[in-house]
Amino acid sequence: MNWASGSGTNYRRDYRLIALDTASGQITPTLSESASEQTANRLSLQGSQQYRSGQYHEALRSWETALALFRELGDNAGVASTLGSIGNVYVSLGDYEEALNYYNQSLSIIHEIGNRAAEATLLYSMGNAHRALKQYEDAIDLHQQALAIEREIGNRAGESDVLLALGWSYSFRAQYYLAINFFYKAMQVAQEIGNPSRKTSALYALGWIHDDLGQRQKAIGYYQEALFIARENENQYQEAFILNGLAWVHSALGEYHRSIDFFYEQLAISQEISNRRQEANALNGLGFVHTKLSQYRQAIQFSEQALFIHREVNDLREEAYALGDLGNTYASLGEYQKAIDYLMDCLLIQRKIGNRWGEGITLSSIAKVLSAQRQTELAIVFLKASVEVREAIRSDIRGLNSELQRSFVGTIADDYRLLSDLLLEQGRIPEAQQVLELLKIEELREFSNNTRAAWTSDGIAYTTLEQPVADVHGDLIAFGQTLYECEQTNCDQLNGLLEQHEQLTAQYDQQVTAFQSTVRDNRYDDSLFQNPDNLSGDAQKLLEANPDSVLIYPFVTDDKLWLLYATVGSVGSIEIEVSQGDLSKTVQRFGELLQSGDHLAELQATSQQLHQWLIEPLEGALQQNGVDHLIFVNDRVTRYIPMAALFDGQSYLIERYTVSTVLSPALTDTTESLETADTANVLGLGLTQAVTGFDPLPAVEQELDSIVRSGGADTTGVYPGQVYLNEAFTLDQFKSSVADYRVLHVATHAAFVPGQPEASYIVLGNGDRMQITDIETMERRLRNLHLVVLSACQTALGGEGGDGTEIAGISAYFLEAGRAETVIASLWSVSDDSTSLLMQRFYELLASGELTKAEALRQAQLSLLYDQDTEARLTAARNASLTVQTLDGQPRSEATDLAHPYHWAPFILIGNGL
């Protein structure tokens, strides 16, 4: 288990590299010869020096004293300047609300004075505070106001600062193009005015954002250029920041010894300039890298040194991170009690300072330690708490900080996976189903970088047995905050508080023991664990809408496969002894054989192995419940399996069952089915000719002509509609037409790339590539759609680096609420002729009005397998014929050229199968 993933320091790369001449935000007051004014100005300068060396609390005391003197003197400029400086201190201490309080006081005075330069500086600082609060729209608005003033008064240095700030705000909204554009503009202005410090800041920002985007070599290039300028100008403050960035990017590349060298350089410079905070940051990094190298004792030494400094400078946020690092490192050593002690202290501080994301990560780390100790019941409670905290963050923020989203190693999806595994181990099936449903949504969210409220949740509710444990632990942590504050000052009540804490701890331990005993004794009889009524409401609706169906959740863990299943009247789970590695290799080989269109015997043997893992263990439940429709909610590499082609030694799965998939029940709309051929219409878009990088698809014209009846003299199509081929198939035509149609049929090349939605595309008629992410901008145009068919797609099919998330992710762009209800897509690019024939028959069967979409697709596939026309399959469907057939006594492999699964198996239906 990677304990460093809980609260490792690699996600704490600092982006706050600022030009030294703007670091304090000081508005220089007019100097005076009076003693009081000299004292006030001396204290103001002293505060600036302390601030720049990282002595924030000392700076605060200096500025607060200066503020009182400026007020006594009636020096409004001095008051405004000092209020702004105090605001900067609170920003550095992470108290952004208090910072805004001081900034607003300063701004009121500045308006009275009419100092436009000072107003721009304050707007800039206020924007930074709002950005830190993840209030990105407010931040951008304030920075735009500041930019207008800086340009009005001709302050080019200030203009560069504000451009840089705008870049940071856009980067945290994941609008990387705009962010990079603003960083470049900031660098250009700094270069024009000959300000190396500001140019360095911009180069650092460009390095940071390219690192965040995973473009490590580009990041190194920008960092190196920034480092050269910082050293040339002997700016050690900036040099330390840049060395930190280089250390982290090399760590991300796995070049840990190179990373260590940079951290040591940062450490030496930070000690030389007496910047204790940067010194601690370097020690944090050294601790993290030594943990990655499994050098845990050395890691502990560095983390303990960092912890000492964080406490010395009273930096609670960094103290919490260091405690978390120590807890995870001790967990890696198997010293679980020490790990728990450090993590509990970390949790206490995270709650005290209101760092909810850090709180969620810490709760997850505690759960992993408890799981390693086989305290499964308690681990589940802490995982639920972790998910609850981090899902609450999503509902509160207006934009998700991309640094946090991309750089936290432990993700919410990881927590869902561990929680699902633990629940299934305990036989808590309905709860596990609810978690798996949320897991599917989380994976889609991470794939598409989408944070819409429709995709948020409240996490997983505590059971009646778990709630008292959670409550008592919450009381213990809350009391711990009071005790912690008393320990810092050695208050008179310390002994009494320690006794109370011991009593609360004993009460918590008793509650935990009773809880674990009750769960272990009763879990197999408790209706909460086994009652199908406790499935998620969305799962129950989906099952009720599809009679005689079963929901099947293959859930892949590192060392086993779980099969969770649910029907209207029953639930169950089965553990299969197959590792993720073995499963992935089998799926990959299956994909290779399917795409070859040959080697049928080996293909069927490979398929039969998958059948033994995925279907055979469920046979008893399927027969007992009279199931004829299998609805899969696939996971990881199982997304690449065309379930219809699983082989039991005698027949394919499609010969016995209707098969479909859903992204998750929560994302499946079953409120309606497609209208009849008289009223439903089809927009057909296709490419027949060769374009750069792609072969021609000559059968597409016949495919679309047989499906779409364009009116007038055209009487051959099944559905009314319109077709646009080749040059007529443009992005503009797509956008202007799609809102008027119920079915979108796209017959062109397309590719789904694992982990890269921005690299997934559909080829337009002129050869241009429409990015799948562009669909997001067409939301209002897609509201009338019911069915989307993508008939020439290509996926990784289980290749290296793929987990199938791209298949679900691409479908989700069409299947979001208010858009289409069903997507039919291919897992690999198929023979042009067989695709055309399969699609024709699918629409003919669907147009009969007698079959659901899922059954129409099944019968179309069987028509190729059995070499039968549409009417024969429709007759078979009317007679509910599920008989496995061969033709003229021949083995099925020789009966027809299109019987090989290569031709009919790639098409999967996702979403509403009705």
pLDDT in tens, 390-439: 777 655 443 444 444 433 333 677 888 899 999 898 888 888 888 888 78
Instruction: Check residues 879 and 800 and name the one with the higher pLDDT.
Output: 879
Instruction: Check residues 88 and 402 and name the one with the higher pLDDT.
Output: 88
- The mean pLDDT of the chain is 84
* Geometric angle at alpha carbon 908, from 707 and 432, rounded to 5°: 145
Q: How far apart are CA 16 and CA 110, in angstroms?
A: 26
Range of 208-217, 283-292, 827-836 with top mean pLDDT: 283-292
Task: Provide the pLDDT for residue 320.
Answer: 92
pLDDT at 891 exceeding the cut of 60 = no
Least confident of 26-35, 542-551, 587-596, 876-885: 26-35
Mind giving me the DSSP string for 823-866?
EEEESS---HHHHHHHHHHHHHHHHTSSS-HHHHHHHHHHHHHH
What letter would DSSP give residue 613? H
Handedness of CA 703, 704, 708, 713 (dihedral sign): negative
Q: How far apart are CA 855 and CA 711, in angstroms?
A: 28
Q: State what percent of residues in the chain have pLDDT above 70.
A: 86
* Dihedral pair phi/psi, residue 114, rounded to 5°: 80, 30
CB atoms inside a 10 Å sphere around CB 21:
12
Task: Provide the pLDDT for residue 530.
Answer: 54
Residue 816 and residue 454 in contact, taking contact as beta carbons nearer than 8 Å:
yes
Listed as own residue / partner, the contacts of 138-147 with beta carbons closer than 8 Å and 24 or more positions apart are: 139/165, 139/169, 140/166, 140/169, 140/170, 143/169, 146/120, 146/121
Instruction: Name residue 549's beta-bridge partners.
Output: 629
The amino acid present at 310, given as its one-letter code, is: H
Q: How many CA atoms lie within 13 A of 437 on its CB side?
A: 27
Least confident of 104-113, 171-180, 213-222, 272-281: 171-180
* Geometric angle at alpha carbon 487, from 481 and 488, rounded to 5°: 95
Task: Provide the pLDDT for residue 13.
Answer: 45
Task: Provide the pLDDT for residue 892.
Answer: 42
Task: Provide the pLDDT for residue 476.
Answer: 67
Task: Provide the pLDDT for residue 456.
Answer: 42
pLDDT at 826 exceeding the cut of 90 = no
Task: Provide the pLDDT for residue 885.
Answer: 45
pLDDT at 22 exceeding the cut of 50 = no
Instruction: Name residue 911's beta-bridge partners.
Output: 822
What letter would DSSP give residue 463? P
pLDDT at 726 exceeding the cut of 90 = yes
Residue 669 and residue 912 in contact, taking contact as beta carbons nearer than 8 Å:
yes
Q: What pLDDT digit, counting tens, does each position of 471-515 carry?
A: 777 776 777 777 777 777 778 787 887 787 777 777 767 766 766
pLDDT at 821 exceeding the cut of 50 = yes
768: enclosing H helix or E strand: none
pLDDT at 3 exceeding the cut of 70 = no
Task: Provide the pLDDT for residue 666.
Answer: 86
Task: Provide the pLDDT for residue 115.
Answer: 92
Q: How far apart are CA 214 and CA 122, in angstroms?
A: 34
Residue 552 and residue 609 in contact, taking contact as beta carbons nearer than 8 Å:
no
Q: Beta strands 549-556 and 561-566: pairing type?
A: antiparallel
Tokens in use for 87?
A: 């605001």
Q: How far apart are CA 30 and CA 77, in angstroms?
A: 8
Taking residues 168-185, report their average pLDDT.
86
Q: What pLDDT digit, counting tens, does each position of 532-543 carry?
A: 666 778 888 999
Buried b / exposed e across 818-831, counting CB within 10 Å, b at 16+? ebbbbbbbbbbbbb
Whose CA is closest to 811, among 800, 820, 823, 799? 823
pLDDT at 26 exceeding the cut of 70 = no
Residue 886 and residue 899 in contact, taking contact as beta carbons nearer than 8 Å:
no
Task: Provide the pLDDT for residue 66.
Answer: 93
753 pLDDT tier (thresholds 50, 70, 90): low
739: enclosing H helix or E strand: none
Least confident of 109-113, 516-520, 623-627, 868-872: 516-520
Q: How far apart are CA 504 and CA 308, in angstroms?
A: 28
200 pLDDT tier (thresholds 50, 70, 90): very high
Q: State what percent of residues in the chain have pLDDT above 90.
A: 52
User: Helix-strand-coil percent breakdown of the chain, rounded to 5?
Assistant: 65, 10, 30
Angle between helix 136-153 and 156-172 (nearest 10): 160
Map residue 770 onto helix, strand or coil.
Answer: strand
721 pLDDT tier (thresholds 50, 70, 90): very high
* Geometric angle at alpha carbon 44, from 38 and 49, rounded to 5°: 125
Mind giving me the DSSP string for 7-74?
T-GGGG-------GGGSS---PPPP-SSHHHHHHHHHHHHHHHHHHTT-HHHHHHHHHHHHHHHHHHT
User: Dihedral, CA atoms, 831, 837, 842, 845, nearest 10 degrees?
Assistant: -160
Q: How far apart are CA 295 and CA 501, in angstroms?
A: 35
Residue 4 and residue 292 in contact, taking contact as beta carbons nearer than 8 Å:
yes
Q: How far apart are CA 537 and CA 535, in angstroms?
A: 6
Q: Beta strands 787-790 and 769-771: pairing type?
A: unpaired
Write the CB contacts of 671 (distance below 8 Å, at least 6 apart in sequence).
Answer: 821
Q: How far apart are CA 143 and CA 208, in angstroms?
A: 20
Task: Provide the pLDDT for residue 492.
Answer: 79
Task: Provide the pLDDT for residue 487.
Answer: 75
- Angstrom distances, CA of residue 750 to CA of 448, 773, 791, 833: 18, 13, 9, 17
Least confident of 71-80, 789-798, 810-819: 789-798
Least confident of 376-390, 619-633, 752-766: 752-766
Map residue 519 onto helix, strand or coil.
Answer: helix
Residue 682 and residue 721 in contact, taking contact as beta carbons nearer than 8 Å:
yes
pLDDT at 647 exceeding the cut of 50 = yes
Task: Provide the pLDDT for residue 176.
Answer: 78
43 pLDDT tier (thresholds 50, 70, 90): very high
Count of positions (residues) in the chain: 914
Task: Provide the pLDDT for residue 429.
Answer: 85
Angle between helix 276-292 and 256-272 (nearest 10): 160
Task: Provide the pLDDT for residue 27.
Answer: 43
Q: How far apart are CA 775 and CA 621, in angstroms?
A: 40
Q: How far apart are CA 328 and CA 342, in angstroms?
A: 9
Task: Provide the pLDDT for residue 497.
Answer: 77
Chain centroid to Cα 612, Å, comes to 33
Q: What pLDDT digit, counting tens, does each position of 330-350 carry?
A: 999 999 999 999 999 999 998
pLDDT at 284 exceeding the cut of 90 = yes
Instruction: Check residues 630 and 21 and name the one with the higher pLDDT.
Output: 630
Q: How far apart are CA 794 and CA 79, in angstroms?
A: 65
- Angstrom distances, CA of residue 775 to CA of 659, 738, 757, 765, 843: 27, 12, 11, 17, 25
* Backbone torsion region of residue 132, taken as left when φ is above 0, otherwise alpha when ψ lies between -120 and 50, otherwise beta: alpha
Task: Provide the pLDDT for residue 447.
Answer: 61
660: enclosing H helix or E strand: strand 658-661
Residue 717 and residue 745 in contact, taking contact as beta carbons nearer than 8 Å:
no
Q: How far apart are CA 468 and CA 433, in angstroms?
A: 23
Mind giving me the DSSP string for 576-607?
E---HHHHHHHHHHHHHHHHHT--HHHHHHHH
Task: Provide the pLDDT for residue 466.
Answer: 74
What letter would DSSP give residue 659? E
Whose CA is closest to 256, among 6, 17, 4, 14? 4
Whose CA is closest to 894, among 593, 592, 596, 600? 600
Task: Provide the pLDDT for residue 215.
Answer: 84
Task: Provide the pLDDT for residue 244.
Answer: 95
Residue 743 and residue 856 in contact, taking contact as beta carbons nearer than 8 Å:
no
Instruction: Check residues 901 and 527 and name the one with the higher pLDDT.
Output: 901
